[in-house]
Protein backbone atom coordinates (compact mmCIF):
# COMPACT_ATOMS: atom_id res chain seq x y z
CA UNK A 1 0.00 0.00 0.00
CA UNK A 2 3.04 2.29 0.17
CA UNK A 3 4.22 4.21 -2.92
CA UNK A 4 7.96 3.70 -3.50
CA UNK A 5 8.07 0.83 -1.01
CA UNK A 6 11.31 -1.23 -0.83
CA UNK A 7 10.20 -3.53 -3.69
CA UNK A 8 9.14 -0.61 -5.92
CA UNK A 9 12.42 -0.38 -7.82
CA UNK A 10 12.44 -4.09 -8.68
CA UNK A 11 9.04 -4.49 -10.34
CA UNK A 12 7.59 -3.57 -13.72
CA UNK A 13 4.36 -2.32 -12.16
CA UNK A 14 3.12 -1.49 -8.68
CA UNK A 15 -0.53 -1.40 -7.65
CA UNK A 16 -0.88 1.00 -4.72
CA UNK A 17 -3.85 0.15 -2.51
CA UNK A 18 -4.81 -1.06 0.94
CA UNK A 19 -4.57 -4.73 1.88
CA UNK A 20 -8.37 -5.00 1.98
CA UNK A 21 -9.12 -3.21 -1.32
CA UNK A 22 -11.09 -5.88 -3.23
CA UNK A 23 -10.92 -4.15 -6.62
CA UNK A 24 -7.15 -3.81 -6.52
CA UNK A 25 -6.62 -7.33 -5.19
CA UNK A 26 -8.82 -8.58 -8.04
CA UNK A 27 -6.70 -6.59 -10.50
CA UNK A 28 -3.48 -8.05 -9.11
CA UNK A 29 -4.68 -11.67 -9.15
CA UNK A 30 -6.26 -11.68 -12.62
CA UNK A 31 -3.14 -10.14 -14.19
CA UNK A 32 -0.78 -12.63 -12.51
CA UNK A 33 -0.05 -16.27 -13.30
CA UNK A 34 0.53 -17.00 -9.62
CA UNK A 35 -0.28 -14.83 -6.60
CA UNK A 36 1.49 -15.11 -3.26
CA UNK A 37 1.79 -12.87 -0.20
CA UNK A 38 4.26 -11.96 2.53
CA UNK A 39 1.84 -10.54 5.09
CA UNK A 40 -1.17 -12.23 6.63
CA UNK A 41 -3.36 -9.18 7.20
CA UNK A 42 -5.14 -9.10 3.85
CA UNK A 43 -8.66 -9.61 2.47
CA UNK A 44 -9.46 -13.33 2.29
CA UNK A 45 -13.02 -12.97 0.97
CA UNK A 46 -11.99 -11.80 -2.50
CA UNK A 47 -9.04 -14.21 -2.54
CA UNK A 48 -11.35 -17.17 -1.83
CA UNK A 49 -13.68 -16.04 -4.62
CA UNK A 50 -10.81 -15.77 -7.11
CA UNK A 51 -9.27 -19.06 -5.95
CA UNK A 52 -12.59 -20.82 -6.54
CA UNK A 53 -12.53 -19.51 -10.12
CA UNK A 54 -9.23 -21.27 -10.73
CA UNK A 55 -6.65 -18.57 -10.07
CA UNK A 56 -3.39 -19.85 -8.57
CA UNK A 57 -2.99 -18.42 -5.07
CA UNK A 58 -0.38 -19.90 -2.72
CA UNK A 59 -0.68 -20.51 0.13
CA UNK A 60 -4.42 -20.89 -0.40
CA UNK A 61 -6.92 -18.37 1.03
CA UNK A 62 -8.25 -21.18 3.23
CA UNK A 63 -4.81 -21.56 4.81
CA UNK A 64 -4.55 -17.80 5.22
CA UNK A 65 -7.94 -17.69 6.94
CA UNK A 66 -6.77 -20.17 9.58
CA UNK A 67 -3.47 -18.35 10.11
CA UNK A 68 -5.09 -14.89 10.36
CA UNK A 69 -7.04 -15.88 13.46
CA UNK A 70 -4.71 -17.30 16.10
CA UNK A 71 -7.62 -18.96 17.91
CA UNK A 72 -8.40 -20.87 14.69
CA UNK A 73 -4.73 -21.83 14.52
CA UNK A 74 -4.91 -23.21 18.05
CA UNK A 75 -8.08 -25.18 17.27
CA UNK A 76 -6.50 -26.65 14.15
CA UNK A 77 -3.43 -27.72 16.11
CA UNK A 78 -5.66 -29.29 18.76
CA UNK A 79 -7.65 -31.13 16.07
CA UNK A 80 -4.45 -32.70 14.73
CA UNK A 81 -3.06 -33.51 18.20
CA UNK A 82 -0.14 -31.14 17.71
CA UNK A 83 1.07 -30.04 21.17
CA UNK A 84 0.66 -26.39 22.14
CA UNK A 85 0.41 -24.43 25.37
CA UNK A 86 -2.89 -24.79 27.24
CA UNK A 87 -5.31 -22.10 26.10
CA UNK A 88 -8.89 -20.84 26.40
CA UNK A 89 -10.95 -18.35 24.40
CA UNK A 90 -12.02 -15.18 26.22
CA UNK A 91 -15.78 -15.42 25.73
CA UNK A 92 -16.95 -12.38 27.67
CA UNK A 93 -15.08 -10.27 30.20
CA UNK A 94 -11.34 -10.70 30.60
CA UNK A 95 -11.51 -10.58 34.40
CA UNK A 96 -13.80 -13.59 34.58
CA UNK A 97 -11.75 -15.44 32.00
CA UNK A 98 -8.52 -14.88 33.93
CA UNK A 99 -10.18 -15.93 37.17
CA UNK A 100 -11.26 -19.20 35.58
CA UNK A 101 -8.03 -19.82 33.62
CA UNK A 102 -5.50 -18.84 36.28
CA UNK A 103 -2.37 -16.70 36.41
CA UNK A 104 0.21 -16.09 35.11
CA UNK A 105 -1.27 -16.09 31.62
CA UNK A 106 -0.55 -14.57 28.24
CA UNK A 107 -3.43 -12.76 26.52
CA UNK A 108 -3.17 -12.89 22.73
CA UNK A 109 -5.26 -11.02 20.19
CA UNK A 110 -7.05 -13.38 17.81
CA UNK A 111 -6.26 -11.14 14.85
CA UNK A 112 -3.77 -8.46 13.90
CA UNK A 113 -0.88 -9.29 16.19
CA UNK A 114 2.71 -9.42 14.93
CA UNK A 115 6.23 -8.39 16.00
CA UNK A 116 5.24 -8.27 19.66
CA UNK A 117 1.92 -6.50 19.08
CA UNK A 118 -1.28 -8.10 20.31
CA UNK A 119 0.37 -9.87 23.26
CA UNK A 120 -0.11 -8.98 26.93
CA UNK A 121 1.20 -10.83 29.99
CA UNK A 122 -1.10 -11.02 33.02
CA UNK A 123 0.83 -11.96 36.16
CA UNK A 124 -1.35 -10.41 38.88
CA UNK A 125 -4.94 -9.10 39.21
CA UNK A 126 -3.80 -5.48 38.83
CA UNK A 127 -2.59 -6.23 35.29
CA UNK A 128 -6.11 -6.95 34.07
CA UNK A 129 -6.96 -3.23 33.85
CA UNK A 130 -4.37 -2.91 31.05
CA UNK A 131 -5.52 -6.00 29.15
CA UNK A 132 -6.14 -6.00 25.39
CA UNK A 133 -9.59 -4.76 24.39
CA UNK A 134 -10.27 -7.09 21.48
CA UNK A 135 -11.24 -10.66 20.65
CA UNK A 136 -8.58 -12.71 22.38
CA UNK A 137 -7.61 -15.90 24.14
CA UNK A 138 -5.53 -16.78 27.16
CA UNK A 139 -2.50 -19.03 26.99
CA UNK A 140 -0.54 -20.60 29.81
CA UNK A 141 2.72 -18.79 30.57
CA UNK A 142 5.18 -21.65 30.38
CA UNK A 143 8.79 -21.64 31.64
CA UNK A 144 10.78 -21.80 28.41
CA UNK A 145 14.38 -22.93 27.97
CA UNK A 146 14.61 -21.79 24.34
CA UNK A 147 12.41 -20.49 21.55
CA UNK A 148 12.90 -22.54 18.38
CA UNK A 149 11.83 -22.20 14.77
CA UNK A 150 11.79 -24.44 11.72
CA UNK A 151 11.27 -23.40 8.11
CA UNK A 152 9.35 -25.97 6.05
CA UNK A 153 8.67 -25.87 2.32
CA UNK A 154 5.94 -27.85 0.55
CA UNK A 155 5.45 -27.72 -3.21
CA UNK A 156 2.34 -27.90 -5.38
CA UNK A 157 3.37 -31.51 -6.07
CA UNK A 158 3.49 -32.42 -2.39
CA UNK A 159 7.28 -32.51 -2.05
CA UNK A 160 8.30 -31.34 1.41
CA UNK A 161 11.64 -30.26 2.86
CA UNK A 162 12.69 -29.04 6.27
CA UNK A 163 15.43 -26.55 7.13
CA UNK A 164 17.63 -26.93 10.24
CA UNK A 165 16.08 -26.11 13.61
CA UNK A 166 17.21 -22.68 14.82
CA UNK A 167 16.97 -20.91 18.15
CA UNK A 168 15.73 -17.36 18.59
CA UNK A 169 16.26 -14.76 21.28
CA UNK A 170 13.95 -11.79 21.69
CA UNK A 171 14.32 -8.14 22.57
CA UNK A 172 12.43 -8.06 25.86
CA UNK A 173 11.46 -4.40 25.48
CA UNK A 174 9.48 -4.93 22.27
CA UNK A 175 9.10 -8.73 22.16
CA UNK A 176 10.69 -8.78 18.68
CA UNK A 177 13.23 -11.33 17.48
CA UNK A 178 16.72 -10.04 18.26
CA UNK A 179 18.80 -12.83 16.75
CA UNK A 180 18.66 -16.33 15.30
CA UNK A 181 21.29 -19.03 15.79
CA UNK A 182 21.66 -21.85 13.26
CA UNK A 183 21.88 -24.66 14.09
CA UNK A 184 20.06 -24.60 17.42
CA UNK A 185 22.18 -25.72 20.36
CA UNK A 186 19.87 -28.54 21.41
CA UNK A 187 19.95 -32.32 21.67
CA UNK A 188 19.48 -34.39 18.54
CA UNK A 189 16.26 -35.92 19.92
CA UNK A 190 14.79 -32.43 20.41
CA UNK A 191 15.75 -31.44 16.85
CA UNK A 192 14.00 -34.51 15.49
CA UNK A 193 10.81 -33.76 17.45
CA UNK A 194 10.82 -30.13 16.30
CA UNK A 195 11.29 -31.10 12.65
CA UNK A 196 8.52 -33.71 12.85
CA UNK A 197 6.11 -31.23 14.44
CA UNK A 198 6.90 -28.58 11.83
CA UNK A 199 6.18 -30.98 8.98
CA UNK A 200 2.95 -32.11 10.67
CA UNK A 201 1.81 -28.47 10.91
CA UNK A 202 2.28 -27.82 7.19
CA UNK A 203 0.63 -31.10 6.21
CA UNK A 204 -2.32 -30.36 8.53
CA UNK A 205 -2.82 -27.05 6.74
CA UNK A 206 -2.34 -28.67 3.32
CA UNK A 207 -0.04 -25.71 2.78
CA UNK A 208 1.97 -24.83 -0.32
CA UNK A 209 4.95 -22.49 -0.09
CA UNK A 210 7.39 -21.72 2.70
CA UNK A 211 6.23 -21.74 6.33
CA UNK A 212 7.90 -20.61 9.55
CA UNK A 213 6.86 -22.67 12.57
CA UNK A 214 7.73 -21.10 15.93
CA UNK A 215 8.03 -23.39 18.95
CA UNK A 216 8.81 -23.43 22.65
CA UNK A 217 11.30 -25.82 24.22
CA UNK A 218 10.07 -25.97 27.80
CA UNK A 219 12.19 -26.42 30.89
CA UNK A 220 11.02 -30.04 31.07
CA UNK A 221 12.11 -30.65 27.45
CA UNK A 222 8.67 -30.62 25.81
CA UNK A 223 8.41 -29.10 22.33
CA UNK A 224 5.24 -27.03 21.86
CA UNK A 225 4.11 -25.23 18.72
CA UNK A 226 3.62 -21.51 19.32
CA UNK A 227 2.42 -20.22 15.95
CA UNK A 228 2.73 -20.61 12.20
CA UNK A 229 3.68 -18.01 9.58
CA UNK A 230 2.65 -18.87 5.98
CA UNK A 231 5.50 -16.96 4.30
CA UNK A 232 9.22 -16.28 4.37
CA UNK A 233 10.01 -15.68 8.02
CA UNK A 234 12.45 -13.66 10.08
CA UNK A 235 13.90 -16.87 11.52
CA UNK A 236 14.78 -18.02 7.98
CA UNK A 237 16.74 -14.98 6.80
CA UNK A 238 20.01 -16.71 7.65
CA UNK A 239 19.36 -19.13 4.76
CA UNK A 240 20.41 -16.50 2.19
CA UNK A 241 24.09 -16.91 3.08
CA UNK A 242 24.14 -20.11 5.13
CA UNK A 243 22.08 -22.65 3.16
CA UNK A 244 22.30 -24.09 -0.35
CA UNK A 245 18.81 -22.74 -1.12
CA UNK A 246 17.47 -19.58 0.52
CA UNK A 247 13.94 -19.53 1.94
CA UNK A 248 12.98 -17.01 -0.75
CA UNK A 249 14.13 -19.15 -3.66
CA UNK A 250 12.54 -22.18 -2.00
CA UNK A 251 9.20 -20.40 -1.75
CA UNK A 252 9.27 -19.65 -5.48
CA UNK A 253 10.25 -23.23 -6.27
CA UNK A 254 7.37 -24.50 -4.11
CA UNK A 255 4.60 -22.34 -5.59
CA UNK A 256 5.73 -22.87 -9.20
CA UNK A 257 5.96 -26.65 -8.89
CA UNK A 258 9.72 -26.84 -9.38
CA UNK A 259 11.80 -29.41 -7.47
CA UNK A 260 12.66 -28.11 -4.02
CA UNK A 261 16.29 -27.15 -3.46
CA UNK A 262 18.69 -28.53 -0.89
CA UNK A 263 18.16 -27.20 2.64
CA UNK A 264 21.67 -28.14 3.76
CA UNK A 265 23.34 -25.74 6.18
CA UNK A 266 26.73 -24.99 4.61
CA UNK A 267 28.11 -23.02 7.57
CA UNK A 268 26.91 -22.18 11.09
CA UNK A 269 25.24 -18.77 11.13
CA UNK A 270 23.86 -16.03 13.36
CA UNK A 271 21.28 -13.55 12.09
CA UNK A 272 20.98 -10.22 13.92
CA UNK A 273 17.91 -8.04 13.35
CA UNK A 274 18.54 -4.34 12.85
CA UNK A 275 15.83 -2.53 14.79
CA UNK A 276 15.30 1.20 14.81
CA UNK A 277 16.97 2.74 17.86
CA UNK A 278 14.57 3.63 20.65
CA UNK A 279 13.49 7.27 20.50
CA UNK A 280 14.49 7.77 16.86
CA UNK A 281 12.01 8.51 14.09
CA UNK A 282 12.64 9.86 10.60
CA UNK A 283 14.95 9.21 7.66
CA UNK A 284 17.20 6.30 8.66
CA UNK A 285 20.96 6.43 9.04
CA UNK A 286 23.02 3.29 9.67
CA UNK A 287 25.97 3.88 12.01
CA UNK A 288 28.94 1.51 11.97
CA UNK A 289 28.43 -0.02 8.51
CA UNK A 290 32.10 0.14 7.48
CA UNK A 291 33.18 -1.37 10.79
CA UNK A 292 30.93 -4.43 10.60
CA UNK A 293 31.61 -5.05 6.90
CA UNK A 294 35.32 -5.33 7.70
CA UNK A 295 34.55 -8.47 9.74
CA UNK A 296 34.98 -11.70 7.71
CA UNK A 297 31.72 -13.57 7.14
CA UNK A 298 29.44 -10.58 7.74
CA UNK A 299 26.66 -9.73 5.25
CA UNK A 300 24.45 -6.65 5.64
CA UNK A 301 20.89 -6.41 4.36
CA UNK A 302 19.22 -2.97 4.42
CA UNK A 303 15.51 -3.11 3.58
CA UNK A 304 15.19 0.37 2.09
CA UNK A 305 12.37 1.59 4.31
CA UNK A 306 11.98 5.36 4.09
CA UNK A 307 11.44 5.93 7.82
CA UNK A 308 12.88 4.45 10.98
CA UNK A 309 10.90 4.16 14.23
CA UNK A 310 11.64 2.67 17.63
CA UNK A 311 12.13 -1.11 17.21
CA UNK A 312 11.05 -1.11 13.56
CA UNK A 313 12.77 -3.83 11.52
CA UNK A 314 15.09 -1.91 9.19
CA UNK A 315 17.40 -4.69 8.05
CA UNK A 316 19.45 -7.61 9.27
CA UNK A 317 23.02 -8.84 9.44
CA UNK A 318 24.04 -12.46 8.88
CA UNK A 319 27.33 -13.81 10.17
CA UNK A 320 28.64 -17.15 8.86
CA UNK A 321 31.69 -18.96 10.20
CA UNK A 322 33.08 -22.49 10.29
CA UNK A 323 32.84 -22.28 14.08
CA UNK A 324 29.53 -21.34 15.74
CA UNK A 325 31.20 -19.83 18.81
CA UNK A 326 33.24 -17.57 16.53
CA UNK A 327 30.05 -16.54 14.69
CA UNK A 328 28.41 -15.72 18.03
CA UNK A 329 31.38 -13.59 19.08
CA UNK A 330 31.24 -11.70 15.79
CA UNK A 331 27.49 -11.22 16.27
CA UNK A 332 28.14 -9.62 19.67
CA UNK A 333 30.56 -7.21 18.00
CA UNK A 334 27.99 -6.40 15.32
CA UNK A 335 25.31 -5.66 17.94
CA UNK A 336 27.64 -3.26 19.76
CA UNK A 337 28.74 -1.54 16.55
CA UNK A 338 25.84 -0.98 14.16
CA UNK A 339 22.89 1.23 15.05
CA UNK A 340 19.87 2.52 13.11
CA UNK A 341 19.15 6.14 14.02
CA UNK A 342 17.32 9.03 12.39
CA UNK A 343 19.23 11.65 10.43
CA UNK A 344 19.74 14.95 12.16
Distances (CA, A) of 23 to 52, 60, 87, 98: 17, 19, 38, 42
Residues 6 or more apart whose Cβ sits within 8 Å of residue 223: 83, 148, 190, 193, 194, 197, 215, 216, 217
Q: Is 84:224 a contact under the CB 8 Å cutoff?
A: yes
Distances (CA, A) of 102 to 31, 91, 99, 123, 291: 51, 15, 6, 9, 50
Q: Omega of the bond prior to 104 within 30 degrees of 0, cis?
A: yes
Distances (CA, A) of 93 to 89, 98, 139, 245: 11, 9, 16, 48
Tens-of-pLDDT digits for all 344 residues of the chain? 888 889 888 888 999 999 999 999 999 999 999 999 999 999 999 999 999 999 999 999 999 999 999 999 999 999 999 999 999 999 878 999 999 999 999 999 999 877 668 899 999 999 999 999 999 999 999 999 999 999 999 999 999 999 999 999 998 787 889 999 999 999 999 999 999 999 999 999 999 999 999 999 999 999 999 999 999 999 999 999 999 999 999 999 999 999 999 999 999 999 999 999 999 999 999 999 999 999 999 999 999 999 999 999 999 999 999 999 999 999 999 999 999 999 97
- Tell me the per-residue pLDDT of 176-216, one tens digit each, with 9 for 90 and over: 899 999 999 999 999 999 999 999 999 999 999 999 999 99
Q: Could you give all domains of the chain from N- to C-terminal order, each with its CATH number? A: 8-68 (3.40.50.20), 86-140 (3.30.1490.20), 144-342 (3.30.470.20)
Distances (CA, A) of 40 to 59, 67, 108, 113: 11, 7, 16, 10
Exposure string for 206-235, b = 16+ CB within 10 A, e = fewer: ebbbbbbbbbbbbeeeebbbbbbbbbbbbb
Supply the DSSP symbol for 311: T
User: Is pTM beyond 0.85 here?
Assistant: yes
Burial of 261 (0-12, 13-18, 19+ CB in 10 A): middle
Q: Would you state the torsion angle of the CA atoms of residues 126, 127, 130, 136, taken in this order, to the nearest 10 degrees?
A: -130
> Please, which residues bridge with residue 273 across strands?
316
Amino acid sequence: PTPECPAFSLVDRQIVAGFYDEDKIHELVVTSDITTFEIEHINTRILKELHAKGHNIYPSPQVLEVIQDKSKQKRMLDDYDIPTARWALVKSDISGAVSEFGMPAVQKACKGGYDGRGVFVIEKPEDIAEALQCDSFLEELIPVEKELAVMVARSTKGEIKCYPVVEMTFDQRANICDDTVAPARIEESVKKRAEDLAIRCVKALDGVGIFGIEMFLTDDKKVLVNEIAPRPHNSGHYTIEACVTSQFEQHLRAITGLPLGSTELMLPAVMVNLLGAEGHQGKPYFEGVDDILSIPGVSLHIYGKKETKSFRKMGHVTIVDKNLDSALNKADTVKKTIRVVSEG
